[in-house]
Amino acid sequence: MPRDAKKLQRYRAMRSPEVTNEPFGYDTAETFPEKRAHGAYVVHLHDATRRHYDVRLEIGGELLSFAVPHGPSLDPSKKHLAVNTEVHPIEYLEFEDVIPKGEYGGGAMIAWDRGAVTYLEGPPEEEMATGKLHVELHGMKLRGRWAFVKLAKSAKGNEWLLFKKDDESANPGRDLLAELPRSVLSGLTVEELLERDAIGDRFLARAKALGATKLTTSFVTSRRPALAAIAGAKKPGSKAPLPPSLFDAELGGIRVLAARDGDVVTLRRWAGAAGEDVEAYYPETVRALRALPLSSVVLEGELIAFDPSGHPSRALLARRARSFASEGALRATTETPVILVVTDVLAAGDLDTRPLPIEDRRALALLLLPSIGFLRAASPLEGDEATLLEAMASLGIASAIAKPKGAPYDDGGWQRLETGVAPPSLTPIRHESTREVNVTNREKVYWPGDPTYTKGDLVDYYAAVADVLVPFLKSRPVILTRYPDGIEGKSFFQWNVPAGMPPWIRTLVLDRHEHLKRVFLVDDAATLLYVANLGCIPLHVLAARASSREEADFATIDFDVKQSTLTDAITLARTLHRILDQIGLPGFPKTSGQSGLHVLIPLGPGQSFDTARALAELLGRLLVERHPDIATMERVVGKRGDKVYVDTVQTGTSRAIVAPYSVRAVPGATVSAPLAWSEVNAKLDPRAFTIATMPKRLAKHGDRLAGLLEARPDVPAAVAALSSLVVARLTP
Ligand code: MN
């Protein structure tokens, strides 16, 4: 069942996408069955004009929303007004931020509770129509049965009452709202959300006051310190005395190093010496780390799934890892949420907290993290070893780690202690994933007019050219430009991969303007389809591979004809071809897919961007020298006149060019078409290459780019030959 855009019409009409930071309902490619008995829910605390709680329940793939001024009460006699408001996009489950002033709902909004909802009396759409809705909530804070009942006398027709049904989770004496005011994501109160930065600064000042030191460069660049070693088990009753220690129960979860740097979060676990990055499987942990008031932080913790009675369950965790592949991220995270129980703080901001005594590091964890939420600070146990082990044994806990007081991280002599309880069989956790892409909204018109093309046509085109396109894209950072409503709708660059990305997709972390960004690597046809299904029309790539980011494997000469003619660009491209022949370099012409022409010059491995740029620049100058009447390298648009702009600055470590075979977001659905040099002539018509014609052309002529990736030209010899051409020109 594809998403129904009509449901979000009202929501979108009330908000400006340029101003608000709220989701617009474009970010997920998951699909949802129309009618189901279970779903996800979120309760926001929203400090808008009037403070209220927003209870949002997943129904039919989006979120039914009620604004509840007094919030949910555990007292069944308290029936609170709940105003049915506009349907919100499913992505709103993750939302927590300060909505800009002046926008609809401007003000701070925290995710106060999250969990799963069960609809008790049939499909919720049908029950709603009768003016009632009976639900059971399985949340971090709210539990048990609840009812929404529509007010018969509601003037506006949108007024309901929300109340607790009388069951074992009802508790008239308990005020949950006052008792647990914090976000389950950031751990902040709604007031604190407004001063996140100040709170982050205060945390860092506290760490500094405790004696945290400046991080060394090696820590920053590796961002991967090793987890502290744990010495083998000490049997119960063994006489060797322990130094005074803190004790952490082992809960049978996955021990990970969690690191956040800006938007980029990694969760790394170790199986023996080999590390495995598992963050793609735990989007709720990633989201919560991104919500913290610290833009960079490194934590140690255990990923744990708790059973309904609140006990950590290894079997549940294993099931969660399996269900992630079969059920998708939303179902898995809703039905079996995973909590990161944090036992240590290794770094925060630009501070290294590892030298601090463990007591101080634990105090920092408790200062940063809430008691209930996707991230929690573990409470270490203190006291007599024998008594503690006995207590743990009575809870069925098989082992604990003793951590000597006063010791810095990884110098502490951590030791595993057995309680005497037989250790549970450690079900191996395998992160499985299937490579399936559900294409959504196939019929949506992306190119209106004549001919009309749909989103399905776009995805089918990329599937048809995958064999020739994927080898070019492989290991190359790709930057997405998304057009979720087609070429006439809004578009946006997406530097970071979206939340909910399938775990089998490879990504690369790029340093961009001192912030880390995680981008796609399109290494197989499935990833290409995934990207196309996000509504990404053109694919822009860097001229480098992930493994050698400082090396350019091709240079680009771009003949930009906005103010001139294609005929002149063709003349210049043919001259460039002769020059390249003379200096022993191959060149591969292609249409840009819009009006211009590109020539890609493969450089083979080992060439720096400086070399590539210098080469492009020399070639450009030579072209302008030979054709001063039709070519210019003038950067200022107004000074170019009607000449072809020979753009040689497309070669740079962060410059992205449109990939060959890439579709363009222009009428006609043209594509960037690789050409034979014999086709670079007066008859060339770039508009002839479209998503409809390119697959046939490929079948007939094969890949005109064949040879580009294998080329190993003698670049130094070519540069020398080129220099002598330039010198020859200068010498009368
Ligand atoms: Mn609200």
Same domain, 214 and 79: no
Positive or negative, the CA dihedral 426, 288, 361, 366 is negative
Query: Cα(13) to centroid of ligand 1, in Å?
Result: 16
Q: Residue 669's pLDDT is what?
A: 97
Is the pLDDT confidence value at 30 over 60?
no
**How far apart are alpha carbons 253 and 226 in whole angstroms?**
18
Has residue 438 been placed in a domain? no
CATH code for the domain in which residue 704 is found: 3.90.920.10
Query: Cα(49) to centroid of ligand 1, in Å?
Result: 9
Same domain, 244 and 315: yes
332-346, 382-396, 489-503 — which is least confidently predicted? 489-503
Specify the residue for token string 């740097």: 261
**Boundary (domain end) residue, out of 373, 400, 418:** 418
Q: Which domain holds residue 479?
A: 445-727
Give mean pLDDT, residues 528-548. 92
Query: Cα(499) to centroid of ligand 1, in Å?
Result: 23
Has residue 209 been placed in a domain? yes
Query: Cα(498) to centroid of ligand 1, in Å?
Result: 24
Has residue 680 been placed in a domain? yes
- Cα–Cα–Cα angle for 399, 403, 406, rounded to 5 degrees: 165
Same domain, 534 and 655: yes
pLDDT in tens, 656-696: 899 999 999 999 999 999 999 999 999 999 999 999 999 99
**Residue 585 pLDDT class (50, 70, 90 cuts):** very high
Give mean pLDDT, residues 433-459. 91
Query: Cα(214) to centroid of ligand 1, in Å?
Result: 42
CATH code for the domain in which residue 299 is found: 3.30.470.30
Query: Cα(57) to centroid of ligand 1, in Å?
Result: 14
pLDDT in tens, 93-114: 999 999 999 899 999 999 999 9
Is the pLDDT confidence value at 343 over 70?
yes
**Residue 224 pLDDT class (50, 70, 90 cuts):** low
21-25, 148-152, 582-586 — which is least confidently predicted? 21-25
Give mean pLDDT, residues 177-189. 97
Give mean pLDDT, residues 594-607. 94
Same domain, 256 and 347: yes
Same domain, 472 and 608: yes
Has residue 432 been placed in a domain? no
Query: Cα(113) to centroid of ligand 1, in Å?
Result: 14
Q: What is the mean pLDDT of the chain?
A: 90
352 token code pair: 């290294």
Same domain, 282 and 367: yes
Same domain, 596 and 650: yes
Same domain, 390 and 346: yes
Has residue 226 been placed in a domain? yes
Q: Residue 35's pLDDT is what?
A: 58
**Boundary (domain end) residue, out of 175, 191, 207:** 191
Same domain, 199 and 174: no
Q: Residue 219's pLDDT is what?
A: 66
Counted domains in the chain:
3
Total residue count of the chain as it appears in this document: 732
Query: Cα(168) to centroid of ligand 1, in Å?
Result: 29
As a three-state string, the secondary structure of 692-716 is CCHHHHHHHHCCCCCCCCCCCCCHH
**Residue 631 pLDDT class (50, 70, 90 cuts):** very high
User: Position 194: which residue type?
Assistant: L
Write down the pTM of the prediction. Answer: 0.83
Is the pLDDT confidence value at 423 over 80?
no
Query: Cα(68) to centroid of ligand 1, in Å?
Result: 9
Q: Residue 223's pLDDT is what?
A: 59
| Percent of the residues in the chain that have a pLDDT greater than 90, as a whole number | 67
Give mean pLDDT, residues 535-544. 93
Same domain, 676 and 612: yes
Same domain, 179 and 213: no
**Boundary (domain end) residue, out of 403, 418, 433:** 418
Q: Which of 659, 668, 666, 671 is nearest to 708 (CA)?
A: 659
Q: Which residues contact 21 (CB under 8 A, 6 or more apart)?
A: 97, 98, 99, 100
Q: Which of 555, 519, 553 is nearest to 536 (CA)?
A: 519
Query: Cα(41) to centroid of ligand 1, in Å?
Result: 15
pLDDT in tens, 44-75: 999 999 999 999 999 988 999 999 999 999 99
**How far apart are alpha carbons 150 and 161 in whole angstroms?**
6
Give mean pLDDT, residues 545-550. 85
Has residue 424 been placed in a domain? no
pLDDT in tens, 478-515: 988 999 899 998 888 887 777 667 888 888 887 766 56
Q: Residue 27's pLDDT is what?
A: 60
Give mean pLDDT, residues 251-258. 92
Q: Residue 1's pLDDT is what?
A: 43
Same domain, 162 and 232: no
Has residue 184 been placed in a domain? yes
Has residue 656 been placed in a domain? yes
